[in-house]
A and B are shown apart, each in its own frame.
Chain A
Amino acid sequence: MKFDIRNVISRSLLILSFALISIDLSAQGLAPLRSTLSGYLRDKSSGEMMGNVVVLAQKSGVRTTTNNYGFFSITLNQGEGQWMHFRFPGLVSDSFYWLAKKDTTITVELAAVEQIAAVEIRSKKTTIADRADMSRIDIPVQQIKEIPALLGEKDVMKVIQLLPGVQKGGEGQAGIYVRGGGPDQNLIVLDEAIVYNANHLFGFFSLFNGDALRSVELVKGGFPSRYGGRLSSVIDLNMKEGNNKKFAGELGIGLISSRAVFEGPIVKGKSSFMISGRRTYLDALAQPLIMAATQGANAGYFFYDFNAKANYILSEKDKLYVSGYFGRDKFYFNENTANTKFKTNFGWGNRTLTARWNHQINPKMFANASAIYSHYDLSINVLQKDANSDEFELKYTSNINDYGVKYDLDYRPNPKHMVRTGFSSINHQFSPSAVVLKVGSNFNLDRKMSVINTYESGIYVEDQWRERKWNFYPGLRISHYAVDKTQYLKPEPRMSFAYNLRKDIALKGSYALMNQYIHLLSSTGIGLPTDLWVPATTNVKPMQSQQWATGIAKDFKKGFSLSLEGYYKTMNHVITYKEGASFLLQDNFFDPSVSVNNKAWESQVTSGKGWSYGSEVFLQKQVGKLSGWIGYTLSWTQLQFDAVNNGLKYYAKYDRRHDASVVCIYRLSKLFTASMTWVYGTGNAITMPQGYLRGTGHYPTTMPEIWDPSNQAFNNEMIDYGKRNSFRMAAYHRMDIGLQFKKEKAHGIKTWELSVYNVYNRYNPFFYYGQLNEAGTVRTLKQVTLFPFIPSLSWTYKFR
């Protein structure tokens, strides 16, 4: 297909402008004169801007929500006087009476309410039946802190795994599988920067420090068109802005790590900062044991991460934000003996940096421009020197660099429409692998694959359109991707709707088409740092999914809400390694006479299709002494590749027929909270040996007569695995409990937390293998379990 990208973009912008003007003109032409109330909503205690707060005009029922930067705009008929209310779980503000005479700008502050009192307030004001979108869940950061976790390490990804439609990969792993999608199909963005590997310690912990987060949102279907680039989910995380009123902070000490967060004003009321960090110290604790066990070797593992954010209010209409993340994992092993010096380390890490400028163009229009940098790298270093100065050195690196720009515009022309539009563009720079190998002084190999540059762009428009009992959420995204001389231009229509049968019951539906221009090559499927991110190319097409979902949402008294959703998703051009293939990228890779091919991996993969369908039940209670949820998912996920399983359909490893979770948080008093989680999941589908085939093999050779099958010369024994993923692991289930004791001090709150992971000591399988008895006559199935009953204790001090 030949086309001019500038032409496409200019036409898209023209259509977009026309659509915006039409909405505005129609509103002006049909409606009486109006006035707009706009402004920002802040947290009273910290001064932070607050997103997703409902702004409601009581009499007319007109409502809107604040955007991520706390901005809202609501337009009413001139002359109308109405009580304005602001709603957000756990926070409350004074309502006020606004007479719509002229455009007005205000800043509203919401204060935290005591938990007990909040029962009444929140139970009246939290509704899911009122929302047009579906398959979207906001996860309160406070709840993340109250849910028990492995070794007391609070983990947002582990909490997301407890939601319906989301499955975890295996014991302890932070990788997530949303509605049949792989772990690479989740768009994880931290302050708009893509995070490629969201795991520490091979996935046992995620890299998001809960202390540094302000909001977490999961979208698993009915995607707003402002999101693109992944098939299955969006996990949108925003860092705290920092308290701009006073200095505050929190210190936490756990069994394997400690953490700290500090925030405060730089110029009071004008600018603020937040900085947080954590580091594990397993390496230091275990050092004496390791040294004793290895006779003096120095080995260990640690990870650390830092989050930092600062903002500056330039004027009433302009704000600047700069935020960043830096984290790294490292394994090391060093040994010095009389004759040999051996040093090796294995590390990986992410870096992100986001700069944003908010500008309120007019009372109805708000813009944000962002510049984004994201980096992920993996490195392996081995050095060995002996007494003769013979040296062996191996360095392996692989990395991705992203440089992106983004522009978003919020436009609220009238009470019926909330329009968002914008564009984004990212330059992905992939360096799949670079190897330096030195053996002695004469062998020096430097094999560096050239950088693969790709450009991924998107332009979008979406509208939240409210019409009596109907809520529509149409959108269109046009994505463009360029690699080498190949270009892909793909429209991505999106649509959600809700119809209110009653005020508290809504029928919902959604459709979304998504494209993904990046693949994760994984030979294990569990998200190891050695998994390789590779771009879509001329030969390996971008992945595409279509998802249809329908459901019903119902609000009950006392803060209960229930949603039932069913979905059907198809996926095209998903890739996997061919049978027998692995991340050894190229034949003769270590031969300097063979040129390095940065697309050698293409021959190792096969592309195919996927199907996922199921239904989800989500009963939630966000408020009150007892809060939490019960989630249940019934689902099927199948894949089909020409070069795998003899071309037949098979169940994905993470196909899970039943997946259930129960989360309870019980606040006995202001100072004591008890919590419990229970999870159940059908076992993973894996491929295991079933039998042997013993027979005569045949292959070509320079001496064919030796291998003549009639001579029985070549007896071959091959394992019969049956069909791909035809064996089910045992079901996974586990209960965790946590107890938090708080004590108010003069300058802060001290919290002790005792938690127990796997309280009834269930031996969940991590993997299976076959083991022969000593005589070699009987082979049995063995199971390896990682985490039995594990108690942990942590201490936190929050000062103010």
Chain B
Amino acid sequence: MKIVLKYINSRVKLLLLSVAVLSLMGLGSCIEKDAKIPPPEYSKRTSIICYLSPRNANVSVQLGYTVPYFGVQSDTIAYYADAKVTVSDLTAGTSVVLPFNTVDFVYRVNKNKMPILNEHQYRVDVILADGRSYSASTQIPPKLGPVDLQLGKFSVGKLEQNQQFGPQVSVNVELKSGNTHKGFYYSPQFDIVLEDGNGDFYGNRMFFKGSGVEEGLGSDTLRFFYQDRMWLQGGGGMGGGTAVDPMKFNGAEGTFWVFDKGYAESYNKFFEDTGNPFAEPVLLYSNWSNGAVGTLGSFDWEEMTITP
């Protein structure tokens, strides 16, 4: 009897051990294999990218299509060369058909044939060889003046020393514009320059809140705030010396941009797409009719120097 019980007992132990091993194996196994379902269906979407500006030497429209994410990969540029692309100045009542440029794979004319003028309304029409057509419109933003962006309040703190990161200083600068228009979007792109007690200069890119783009306010004053802790590059400034107090704001140089809604939204999408795997995917922007993706945007800019 004892032998039988011992036998059963050993079998039970074996069973328990097997279950435990199987269970832990199952729990610990994360199985990666080919999916049994087909990948997301690729739909060939027409893409049209066009940015109009008085600053551009040409009027260009890039016309192509999306390529599959899954399956055979290709690095070739996907474009349509046989479409009819027309740009019309609705304000002036003129239009031009853009020829396909076989070097750059875009539809292009020199701006002499279709001047892009501030505050004019433009429409771009695209007709593919198979008859599908797309269109979008934009108004070129008003021209900016050299004093359209001015310095508001500013302050520079005292030098602080950090063993690992070197000297740093807190900087607050307000830029303001009293001449902005609703429906257009403004963005200062500037480099700031600080000067230390030895007369050496220290520069930094100015990053404003979010993407740094704000819609115009019309009669009210649009303000941009730069608040940062500038690291002074291990103590070596542009002049090569070690920063010493007092630090002062010497000025800022750059461009003040203005664009239409299409440009602003497209840029914001680009800005939002940080590649963060925990963030919701950013979908492609489109302001074209009939399901094409891409942007018809317009912009202008003015170089400026801001001094205290």
Contact = CB atoms under 8 A, between A and B. Distances in A.
B229 to A, nearest CB: 5
Contacts of B161: 442
B284 A693 contact: yes
Interface stretch (B194-202, B232-240, B272-280): B272-280
A526 B20 CA distance: 29
B247 to A, nearest CB: 14
Nearest to A683: B37
Given A710-B60, A782-B32, A696 B49 contact: yes
Interface stretch (B22-30, B84-92, B146-154, B215-223): B22-30
Contacts of A584: 276
Interface stretch (A158-166, A229-237, A539-547, A571-579): A571-579
Given A693-B47, A709-B51, A780-B39, A576 B280 contact: yes
Contacts of A591: 227-229
A593 B282 CA distance: 31
Contacts of A694: 64, 67, 77-78
Interface residues of B, number: 97
Interface in B75-121: 77-78, 104, 106, 108
A32 interface: no
A700 B40 CA distance: 34
A300 to B, nearest CB: 14
A695 B49 contact: yes
Interface stretch (A206-214, A309-317, A398-406, A717-725): A717-725
Interface in B5-58: 16, 19-20, 22-24, 26-27, 29-45, 47, 49, 51, 55-58
B163 interface: yes
A661 to B, nearest CB: 22
Contact of B66 (A151, A592, A691, A778): A691
Interface centre among B49, B163, B280 (most CB of A within 10 A): B280
B294 A579 contact: no
Nearest to B15: A793
A579 B283 contact: yes
B270 to A, nearest CB: 6
Which one of B22, B170, B279 has the highest number of Cβ atoms from chain A below 10 Å of its Cβ?
Answer: B279
Given A587-B210, A783-B32, A783-B33, A687 B69 contact: no
B4 interface: no
B294 A695 contact: yes
B221 to A, nearest CB: 21
A730 B280 contact: no
A709 B56 contact: yes
A3 interface: no
A790 B21 CA distance: 10
Given A579-B280, A721-B284, A790-B27, A443 B272 contact: no
A163 to B, nearest CB: 26
A593 to B, nearest CB: 4
Nearest to B31: A785
Contacts of B281: 579, 687, 689, 719, 721, 724
Given A690-B41, A791-B26, A723 B36 contact: no
Contacts of A697: 49, 270
Interface of B: 16, 19-20, 22-24, 26-27, 29-45, 47, 49, 51, 55-58, 60, 62, 64, 66-73, 77-78, 104, 106, 108, 157, 161-165, 170, 172, 187, 189-191, 205, 209-210, 213, 227-229, 253-255, 257, 259, 263, 266-267, 269-274, 276, 278-286, 293-295, 297, 299, 301
Interface of A: 151, 255-256, 285, 439-443, 523-524, 576-584, 587-588, 591-594, 603, 644-646, 687-702, 704, 708-710, 712, 716, 718-724, 726-727, 729-730, 754, 757, 763, 765, 768, 770, 772, 776-793
